[in-house]
Structure 1
Amino acid sequence: MKSLIQKLPLSEQSSFVADRYITPHFETPWHCHPEYELVLIIKGKGKRFVGDHVSDYAEGELDLLGPNLPHWYRKHDEEKEGGSLVIHFREEFLGKDFLQIPEMQKILLLFEKSATGLHFSGKTSASVGAKMEAMLAHTGMERLMYLLSMLKELSESAEYTVLSSPEMTGGSHKTNDRLQRIFDYVLANFKQDIQLEEAARMAMMSPSSFSRYFRQVTKKNFSHFVNQIRVGYACRQLMKSNFSISYVCHESGFNNMTNFSKQFRKIVHLTPSQFRQRHRV
C-alpha cells in the first residue's frame, strides 16, 4: 500500500479549511496529511482506522487527529451517503510563535495528545459539534473565533479516549524527518520483505544503532511496528473482501499462516477468522 499524502487547499482569505462533506462514498483512502484534523460524523456509520486503531463510528462522533497520522473512515453500506464536518489546520495557523504564549499552553498540550488521535464523547462532542455546524455560516474573524473556542473546550475536556499507539504517529510535530522516512518506507513496502538493513540505511545508521533508536522512540521494536502495519491492512481486507484468509495472509506481507495467525492474535486479540466473523459488514 502506497501512503497517500492528501493535499488540502488553503485560500488566501483563510488560515484553515472548514467544510461539510457528503458524498456517495464519503471515505477517503488510507491517507495522511500535515494538518491537524477535527472531524465530526454527521451521516452514516462504519469503521474508523486511525494508525493501528480499529473501531466503529456513528453519527455525532468527534475525533481530533494529529499531523501525518494515517487514517481512514469506511462506511458499512457503500450504497448509502456518508458525511462529516471537517476542519483542517496547521500548527502555525495563528503564527509561528502564537502557541508559545502562556494562554495557549493547554491547547499546545492538546495538540501533543492528538498525535495518537483523540476520540471525544459526551457533552464535549455535542457542544463542539454544534459549534462546528454554526461555524460554517460565518467567515473571517467570526469563523476563527469559533475554532479557538472549540480548541479551548477540547483542551479542557476529560471526555476523550486515545486511539492509536505512539509508534503510529510517523510525522507528528514531535517526530523528526528520520522517523518519517522510515514510516513512509514501511507503508510503501510492507507487502514485500522489509529489511532492517534497508531501514537503517535510510536512517543513515548502522542496523544495531537503528534498532536501539527505533525502540527508544517508539517503545517497540522495528519488526513489531511492521507487523502492526501488516495486520491493520489485513483487518481491512478481512472486512471488505471475500478473499480467503490464506490470500489475505500473503497479500499483507506475511510469509506463512502460522506467523500471520500468531501476530494477528498478538495485536488484535482474535484469530483472523474470529475477526472476520465479528466485524464483517
Structure 2
Amino acid sequence: MKVLPFKIPKSSNHALIFQEDLEPIFYDKLHQHAEIQMSYILSGSGTLLVGDTVSRFKPGDVLVFGENLPHVFRSDANHQGLCHMLTLFFNREGFGHDFFETEELKELDLFFKQASSGFRIADVDARFKREFIRLRSLANLERFMSFIKLLYEIHNTSKELLSNFTNKTNYTDTEGQRMSNVFDYCLSHFKERITLDEIAEIAVMSPTAFCRFFKERTNKTFNQFLLELRIEHACQLLRTPDNQEAISSIAYTCGFNSVSNFNRYFKKQKGVSPRTYKTTETQ
C-alpha cells in the first residue's frame, strides 16, 4: 500500500471536501496530502504525530494540518465506543489562484503560515463547534459560506502549534513507506527497549544511514523522538484521575530504565516534575 502521498477522493469541480469518520479507530498510517485539513474530533483519543512532534488528541480538539504536512492518528487501544471526526479538506488554490490574495482575505495569510506547522485551536466555544457540525447538512453554497465563517473564527482564536519542523517534505513512496514503518513500530513498541540496530532494520537501512535519514526528515534524532513518545504516554497516565499507579511504575511502564532518567527527561520536556504535573492536571 502506498501510504505517502495520500489522495483525498474528490471530483474535479469541488473546492471543499467534507468527510465524516466514524470507526473503531482513526486511519493510523503516516500520511500527507496536498489539501489543508481542518478536523473536529467529537470522540476518540490517542497519540498524534505531526511533522516532528508527538502530542495527544482528544474529544473537542479542532486540528489544522497544512498541505503536505505528515501526520498520523493512533487511537488509544482502551477507547470505549467509536472514534468520530468531522473534516474539511481544501486547497488554497482551489477557489482560484488569487482568491486568498484579495485585500479582503489577505489577513488570512497567518492562518496558512501557522497551518504549515499544524495547530490546535486552544479554546473552541460551543458556537464554533455547532457551526462545524452543521457542515454535514449544508448544500454547496451554504457550506462554502460556513467555511469562510470558520476561517474567520479560527483567525481570531489563540492556537497551539503542533510542530516545529516547517520544511515541506514531499515523500517518495519508498520514503513514505519507510517512515510509516518506523513510526508504526515505535507506536506499538515504545514501552519496550528499542535499539538503533533494531529500528534501522525496520527501515531496511544501516544504522548510520538511518540516523541521517531520520534527522533530515524530522529535524531531531531518533532517540529524541522516542523520548517524546514515551513522555506523552506518561502524561496521559498522570492526568487520568482514577489512575493510582505510582510514578515509579509509570516510568517503567513507559519504557524508561530508571526513575531518575524519567524525572529528568520529563522535567526537561514539560518544565515541571511528573508529580507536579499530576497534581496540576488532576485538580
Taking structure 2 as the reference length, the TM-score comes to 0.63
Contact 1:32/1:68, CA 8 A, preserved across alignment = no
Q: Give per-residue Cα distances to partners, 1:33-82, cap 9 Å, x unaligned.
A: 768343278x9xxx99755346999xxx7622326343779xxxxxxxxx
The residue aligned with 1:160 is 158
The answer to whether the Cα contact below 8 Å between 1:234 and 1:252 also exists between their aligned partners in 2 is yes
Q: Residues 139, 55 of structure 1: CA spacing in aligned structure 2 closer, same or farther, 3 A cutoff?
A: closer
Q: For residues 180 and 243 of structure 1, what CA distance do their matches in structure 2 show?
A: 32
C-alpha separation in 1, matches of 2:180 and 2:100: 27
Q: Identity over the aligned pairs, expressed in percent?
A: 22
Following superposition, the deviation at residue 202 of structure 1 comes to: 3.2
Q: Which residue of the partner structure matches residue 185 of structure 2?
A: 185
SS of the residue 2:239 aligns to: helix
Q: CA deviation at 1:128?
A: 4.9
The answer to whether 1:208 aligns with 2:204 is: no
CA distance change for structure 1 residues 188 and 102 in 2, over 3 Å: closer, same or farther?
A: farther
1:272 equivalent among 274, 280, 283: 274
1:198, 1:100 → 2: CA distance? 48
Aligned to 1:39: 40
Q: Structure 1 residue 103 and structure 2 residue 109: aligned?
A: no
CA distance in 1, matches of 2:223, 2:94: 39
How far did 1:87 drift?
2.7
* Residue matched to 1:254: 256
- Please list the CA deviations of residues 14-40 of structure 1 after superposition, one character each: whole Å capped at 9, or x if unmatched: 942259x9xxxxxx8797576834327
1:32 and 1:183, CA in 2 relative to 1: closer, same or farther beyond 3 A? same
Question: What amino acid is aligned across from residue 273 of structure 2 in structure 1?
Answer: T
The gaps in structure 2 that reach 5 residues or longer are 1-8, 77-83
What does residue range 21-32 of structure 1 map to in structure 2 within 5 Å?
Answer: 32=28
Structure 1 pair 174/142, CA: closer, same or farther in 2 (3 Å)? farther
* CA RMSD after TM alignment: 4.7
The alpha carbon displacement at 1:206 in A equals 2.4
- The farther-off stretch of 203-212 and 266-275 is 203-212
The two structures have a TM-score, normalised by structure 1, of 0.63
Cα deviation digits, residues 114-135 of structure 1 (max 9, x gap): 365423468x968755643554
Distance 1:262 1:29, change over 3 A: farther
Which sections of structure 1, spanning at least 5 residues, go unmatched? 1-9, 22-27, 74-83
Aligned residues: 244
Task: Call closer, same or farther: CA 1:126–1:40 in 2, change over 3 Å.
Answer: farther
Instruction: Tell me, yes or no, if structure 1 residue 119 matches structure 2 residue 120.
Output: yes
Secondary structure of residue in 1 paired with 2:226:
helix
SS class of match (2:159): strand
Change beyond 3 A, Cα 1:49–1:159 = farther
Residue 260 of structure 1: how far off its partner (Å): 1.2
Q: How far off is 1:236 after superposition?
A: 0.9
SS of residue paired to 2:162: coil
How many angstroms apart in 1 are the aligned matches of 2:116 and 2:188? 21
The equivalent of 2:6 in structure 1 is none
- How far is the alpha carbon of 1:90 from its aligned partner? 4.2
The alpha-carbon distance between structure 1 residues 254 and 62, as it changes in their structure 2 partners (threshold 3 A), is closer
Alpha-carbon distance in structure 1 between the residues aligned to 2:254 and 2:227: 9
Partner residue in 1 for 2:245: 243
**1:164-189 CA distance string (max 9 Å, x none):** 2346x9xx984631333322221111
Q: Indicate the residue corresponding to 2:222 in structure 1.
A: 222
User: How far apart are the structure 2 equivalents of 1:186 and 1:39?
Assistant: 26
Q: Deviations over 1:197-238 (max 9, x none)?
A: 232233343222222232233222110110000010011112
Quick one: structure 1 residues 174 and 149, their matched pair in 2 at CA, closer, same or farther if it must change by over 3 Å? farther
Cα separation, 1, equivalents of 2:196 and 2:255: 15
2-side partners of 1:138 and 1:56: how far apart?
A: 26
